[in-house]
Amino acid sequence: MKTKRVFLIILDSFGIGAMPDAADYGDSGANTLASLRSLKDFDLPTLKSLGLYNIKGVGGGVDDPKAAYCRLAEKSKGKDTIVGHWEICGVVSERPMPTYPQGFPDEVIQAFTALTGKNVICNKPYSGTEVIKDYGEEHIKTGDLIVYTSADSVFQIAAHEDVIPVEELYEYCAVARKMLKGKHGVGRVIARPFTGAAGNFQRTPRRKDYALAPPCDTTLNRISDKGLSVIAVGKINDIFAGSGITAAYKTKSNKEGMELTSRIQSEDFEGLCFVNLVDFDMIYGHRRDVSGYAAAAREFDAWLEGFIKGMRPDDVLMISGDHGCDPGYGHTDHTREYTPLLIYGSHIKPLDLGEGASFALIGKAAEELLGVSVAEGDGTVDKILK
């Protein structure tokens, strides 16, 4: 049977155990899924039935998993969202994107100031909510831009909407994006507008991301170039700077992302629906909230049961992660971990695929399933088709 639609759902930061080089990243022993399973009565019955626990190194699998499954290693150097998603779509990064634990160097700040005519305050790694609490009043008095970073490869600019209109903030971010390339080619420049008075500053939903474009064509380009749909849900469009995407839907939560995916499932299209559910990482992983992460995983698992019931005979579902962010680990950064891959459909054989040497196996499989020629297949699709 020909596959008409592929639904690729990325559970952002859903790792399943430290990779052999995890120590090089300060992540020895990290295991996102194991931290969730340490909680009493934690269970993911739908994912378990597909074969999540049958994957190498996980343990506690079922006798008759319903999906093809494997463990994936990250070939790229790095452990962030953009590097992980790019590799999923065939782009292996030879070096991590730059991060700035001491803030941005003078050459970056001076160049930005010269191009925008605006002075900068903060210039440190900071929590987005704390930075406006600590620097918001100074920003209002001076009009200086709050520039900060995080453990990720990001250049973030916060500004009060009554001081710097949002469209003006976007212009400054566009300047930064154009400027930050080469050795300072951060993964994302992010506009972070906020409102309110001192003591009650609030970030607004008008965040805007300016991603570094992939250096070459990806799975998304190859699929859309064949006239098929590539529908992006969540931050997928930002991650790929819109390249290869035919329709995009931003979301504010996992719940909204799941609801949108269910709506898209009910529509007629041919191609790929690529979904990122970010709450796992953004709200629970970095904040080291094991219970919150576990609750979000259970919520997804419950939704997934209904989604599977709504699948058509020529649909394929793929579920994976892009890196780890172990909520039980000692630091608050991402963690260098293996990720799971589950492939399910009425014409897919339940099969143990062992271990994949790269996240790129996902994109290759999606291309092959949709009949898009790839330079070199790895045989995965031949193995799993009934």
**pLDDT score of 379:** 76
**pLDDT score of 158:** 98
Identify any residues that bridge with 70 across adjacent strands, giving them in sequence order. Answer: 341
318 and 341 fall within a common domain: yes
56 and 132 fall within a common domain: no
Asked, for residue 34, whether it belongs to a domain, the answer is yes
Asked, for residue 315, whether it belongs to a domain, the answer is yes
Residues 6+ apart with CB under 8 A from 40: none
**pLDDT score of 149:** 97
CA 196 to mean position of chain CA atoms: 30
Cα 154 to Cα 244: distance, rounded to the nearest angstrom: 23
24 and 89 fall within a common domain: yes
Cα 381 to Cα 383: distance, rounded to the nearest angstrom: 5
Helix (H, G, I), strand (E, B) or coil at 154: strand
Q: How far is CA 275 from CA 9, 248, 259, in A?
A: 5, 10, 11
pLDDT surpassing 70 at residue 242: yes
83 and 144 fall within a common domain: no
Question: 162-203: per-residue pLDDT in tens?
Answer: 999 999 999 999 999 999 999 999 999 999 999 999 999 999
pLDDT bracket for residue 376 (50, 70, 90): low
152 and 245 fall within a common domain: no
Asked, for residue 101, whether it belongs to a domain, the answer is no
- Nearest of 240, 261, 239 to residue 249 by alpha carbon: 261
249 and 368 fall within a common domain: yes
Q: CATH number, domain at 139? A: 3.30.70.1250
Given 211, 245, 280, the domain boundary residue is 211
Give the chain's domain count.
Answer: 2
pLDDT surpassing 70 at residue 378: no
Average pLDDT, the chain: 96
294 and 379 fall within a common domain: yes
Q: What domain range is 170 assigned to?
A: 106-211
Given 179, 211, 243, the domain boundary residue is 211
Asked, for residue 99, whether it belongs to a domain, the answer is no
**pLDDT score of 375:** 55
155 and 252 fall within a common domain: no
Asked, for residue 40, whether it belongs to a domain, the answer is yes
Cα 209 to Cα 370: distance, rounded to the nearest angstrom: 30
Given 178, 211, 244, the domain boundary residue is 211
Helix (H) or strand (E) holding 50: helix 45-50
47 and 116 fall within a common domain: no
Compute the 3-state secondary structure of the chain and give helix, strand, coil in percent, each to the nearest 5.
Answer: 35, 20, 45
pLDDT surpassing 70 at residue 235: yes
pLDDT surpassing 60 at residue 284: yes
Q: How far is CA 74 from CA 19, 91, 102, 322, in A?
A: 8, 11, 27, 9
112 and 198 fall within a common domain: yes
pLDDT surpassing 80 at residue 6: yes
Whether the model clears a pTM of 0.85, i.e. scores above it, the answer is yes
**pLDDT score of 374:** 57
Question: 257-278: per-residue pLDDT in tens?
Answer: 999 999 999 999 999 999 999 9
Q: CATH number, domain at 284? A: 3.40.720.10
**Average pLDDT for 358-382:** 86
163 and 255 fall within a common domain: no
Q: How far is CA 261 from CA 2, 30, 308, in A?
A: 22, 30, 12
Percentage of residues in the chain having pLDDT higher than 70: 99
Question: 328-369: per-residue pLDDT in tens?
Answer: 999 988 999 999 999 999 999 999 999 999 999 999 999 999
